[in-house]
Amino acid sequence: ARGALSRADLIRDKAYIDGKWLEADGGASIDVDDPFTGEIIGRAPSVSEDQAKAAISSAEKAFPGWAKELTRHRGAILRRWFELVMDHQEDLARLITLENGKPLKEARAEVAYGAGFIEFYADEAGRIFGETIPSPVEGRRLLLEPEPIGVCAAITPWNFPLAMLTRKAAPALAAGCTMVAKPASQTPLSAYALAVLAEEAGLPPGVLNVVTGKAGMIGGLLTASSAVRKISFTGSTEIGAKLMEASAPSIKRLSLELGGNAPLLIFDDADLETAVETALVAKFRNSGQSCIAANRIYAQKGIYEKFLAAFAARVDGLVLGDGFDEKSDIGPLIDEPGVAKVREHLDEAVEGGAKVLAGAGASDGRLMPPTLLRDVAPDALLTREETFGPLAGVIPFETAEDGVRLANDTPFGLAAYLCSEDPATIARVGRAIESGMVGINTGLISTAVVPFGGVKMSGLGREGSSHGLMEYLNLKYLCHAGL
Ligand code: ADP
């Protein structure tokens, strides 16, 4: 059958609390649909307040033991978890396509990317080192000892349902923290499948709990609880700001990976092939539903026409369809409001003078044709809001200074991209762009070994790399006197 898994028990309809699989109180559930067919493919539990509180208590109860566990034991469990994820990579990819809609080849890439965090932090667990600081006075030894911060909450979005969770859970567990995870209601199944494999890997009960249900209720309990010491959130700036406000009374640590509005700057001296490839990947990967998607493409006057012609040919060649069809490049969007937003951005840009170079035909259900617009007005809606769909708008610019000014004209700053063959332009513009990450001659920048995160209203903190581990540790300073 469509989306059938070789291990059907990876699909769960129960919450994972304190190492037990529990039906929601009263049997409440959330329907999960297949974005391509619109059919219900699973049910996730909608937990009660008591159950959400039980998840927090179980993480609290499990914390002291997990924090004390030898780092190499924590690392070994993460390593087994990584191996189990890789053993089941095809099933997990099918599950992602089933609940999210993305093409299978992209779902497979997500599993590899997501597993990369577990692998990286399995090794990193054994490298949580302290420091000694030479004392400015005699007879003292000054020590720094990293300690896990406690119970952490992870709230994750639907666009990368597996990787957004491993990116938070792996460093948290490696550091010795315990976790309550709340995946998005549209795509809860991947998170529960990860929990099945974590349990098989030998993760003790309560170390990782997964609950789904009313986001406001669960988010409210997680932020209000003084036991929860940190919230790690990936999602909209609006909800991120709410969580930050709700976390203020209990002074929680926060990692927020919020909206982006990434610019791509293509300079006259760019290599044409590289520029087209960069634009294609940066815009259309995940059907445009990525927080680092190039939302605004600026091409310098001298390359503008050549770039548009070559880019249009590639956009025309993108295959729209069922994620389970191996030929598909672009799958359905997550839901109808997602399609409506892309169409609104398209219509507004065309009213403002933009011309259609490719796509723009009628949408079919949640299938939105990959579309390319030229001569987009610099203040078009699609340059100000995240489009989150397969719509590329190209805007001409004159000088490098103009390009940088346009790129920075946004309250967001997650990713940015630039294409140029001139080292001086690359160095200058790379520095001048206000963003947490810069892709230079590439639209593919994410991997577990680098710190991912934004500046300005795109968020706080970094995920991935050894820097991502520090987000789950406190540095205790011990001052040993009288020596
Ligand atoms: P998106 O546009 O990606 O759906 P959201 O910020 O709405 O972005 O959702 C990201 C995650 O935040 C999801 O898991 C969602 O269920 C959750 N969420 C939504 N509203 C709240 C809230 N009030 N409190 C806590 N989490 C929330």
Q: Which residues are catalytic?
A: 257
Structure token pair of residue 257? 């990976």
Tell me the sheet residues that pair with 397: 300
Whose C-alpha lies nearest to ligand 1, atom 13? Answer: 184
Contact 42, 11 (CB under 8 A): yes
Q: Is the ipTM of this complex over 0.90?
A: yes
Residues of the chain with pLDDT under 70: 1
Whose C-alpha lies nearest to ligand 1, atom 15? Answer: 184
Q: How far is CA 249 from CA 62, 150, 224, 244, in A?
A: 24, 17, 8, 10
Report the C-alpha gap between 197 and 9 in whole angstroms.
11
Pick from 49, 155, 180, 414 the residue to mutate for probing ligand 1's pocket: most ligand atoms within 8 Å of its CB.
155
Q: What is the pLDDT of residue 400?
A: 97
Residue 285: count of CB within 10 angstroms of its CB: 23
Ligand 1 mean position to 237 CA, how many Å?
Answer: 10
Contact 178, 63 (CB under 8 A): yes
Ligand 1 mean position to 151 CA, how many Å?
Answer: 20
User: Ligand 1: which atom is nearest the Cα of residue 220?
Assistant: 24
Half-sphere exposure of 211 (CA within 13 A, CB side): 33
Q: Which of 49, 57, 58 is nearest to 25 (CA)?
A: 49
Report the C-alpha gap between 31 and 193 in whole angstroms.
17
Whose C-alpha lies nearest to ligand 1, atom 18? Answer: 215
Contact 391, 346 (CB under 8 A): yes
Whose C-alpha lies nearest to ligand 1, atom 25? Answer: 219
Residue 342 neighbours by CB under 8 Å, 6+ apart: 288, 333, 368, 387, 388, 389, 390, 391
Ligand 1 mean position to 287 CA, how many Å?
Answer: 20
Residue 347: count of CB within 10 angstroms of its CB: 13
Q: What is the pLDDT of residue 2?
A: 78
Whose C-alpha lies nearest to ligand 1, atom 17? Answer: 215
Report the C-alpha gap between 75 and 124 in whole angstroms.
8
Q: What is the pLDDT of residue 381?
A: 97
Residue 167: count of CB within 10 angstroms of its CB: 30
User: Ligand 1: which atom is nearest the Cα of residue 182?
Assistant: 14
Enumerate residues lining ligand 1, CB below 6 A. 155-158, 182, 184-185, 215-216, 219, 235-236, 239, 242-243
Q: What is the pLDDT of residue 8?
A: 95
Residue entry with tokens 């993760």: 203
Contact 48, 28 (CB under 8 A): yes
Ligand 1 mean position to 194 CA, how many Å?
Answer: 20
Give the amino acid at 302: G
Ligand 1 mean position to 261 CA, how many Å?
Answer: 18
User: Ligand 1: which atom is nearest the Cα of residue 388?
Assistant: 2
Burial category of 418 from C-beta neighbours within 10 Å (exposed 0-12, middle 13-18, buried 19 and up)? buried
Tell me the sheet residues that pair with 294: 262
Q: What is the pLDDT of residue 351?
A: 97
Whose C-alpha lies nearest to ligand 1, atom 27? Answer: 215
- The rounded radius of gyration (Å) of the Cα atoms in the chain is 23
Ligand 1 mean position to 35 CA, how many Å?
Answer: 19
Contact 330, 390 (CB under 8 A): yes
Burial string for 23-61 (b: 16+ CB within 10 Å, else e) reads: ebeeeebbebbbbbbeeebbbbbbbbeebbbbbbbbbbe
Q: Which of 116, 124, 117, 114 is nearest to 74 (CA)?
A: 124
User: Ligand 1: which atom is nearest the Cα of residue 222?
Assistant: 25
Q: How far is CA 411 from CA 112, 156, 421, 459, in A?
A: 32, 22, 28, 11
Residue 210 neighbours by CB under 8 Å, 6+ apart: 15, 16, 180, 181, 182, 183, 191, 192, 194, 195
